[in-house]
Amino acid sequence: MDNVSTVSVDASNVSGQFVLNDTDRDVLKRCDDFAETLQNITRDIKQNGRTDIQLPAYSKLLSDLLRIMGVNKQKKILTGSELHEYLKSKLVHESLDNELEPPPQVETLITMEEFLTQMKKGYGTLKAMNAKTLHVSLNYGLWLNRAYKVWETFKGAGLVRESWANWLSTNIGISASYARLLRYLSNNFSMYNTMHNLSISIKDLYAMRLQIIYMLESDQTIANFWLGD
């Protein structure tokens, strides 16, 4: 995603103290309210095991707070329909099984139009491969979920003595942290069929996970699109 530079804080230094403008004071007040709500939620869960308090939307508030803190070159946080449109722009429609052949020999004569056609086709294949990586990752997370249940069953029967992390490392060669990442992404996104065609990295999907989850939960029309309905 594109980077945007944050606006500098509109504050003057008077006798060694910063004077915030009214907009920034309002942001800080809402941050105080959010922190208080968060404390009430954690208190309820600790005391009662549940809470009826709703967590307010925080993406815009976080962005405003980072601006006041002076965090420059902050990545633009996309939410809602803007995030939906961004993700749609990352969808690929080429077959995920396409192969990219090496270019022809230098002496082979082709027109510029033919050359550009092959370059565009190759880039489409590259994006499709990225989507295939995400598709396989989401499905493999489901396999890891099944593996955990198998490990639990054998562990309970006394047939396995290793910890989950050691079992993964010894028998499959995957680290527990990577497995945890894949399982998390699968649990949240594998059911969204259209999302399997996204040409984005696992890292990018994880970085946007909270915004995407909120987007899907807050707009059923958008959710239906990604479900493939």
Between 175 and 104, name the one with better pLDDT.
175
Residue 139 has pLDDT above 90, yes or no: yes
SS3 per-residue string spanning 33-100: HHHHHHHHHHHHHHHHCCCCCCCCCCHHHHHHHHHHHCCCCCECCCCHHHHHHHHHHCECCCCCCCCC
Q: Taking the C-alpha atoms of 111, 115, 118 and 123 in order, what is their torsion angle to the nearest 10 degrees?
A: -160
Each residue's pLDDT tens digit, 184-220? 999 999 999 999 999 999 999 999 999 999 999 999 9
Each residue's pLDDT tens digit, 71-84? 644 456 788 889 99
DSSP annotation of 15 reads T
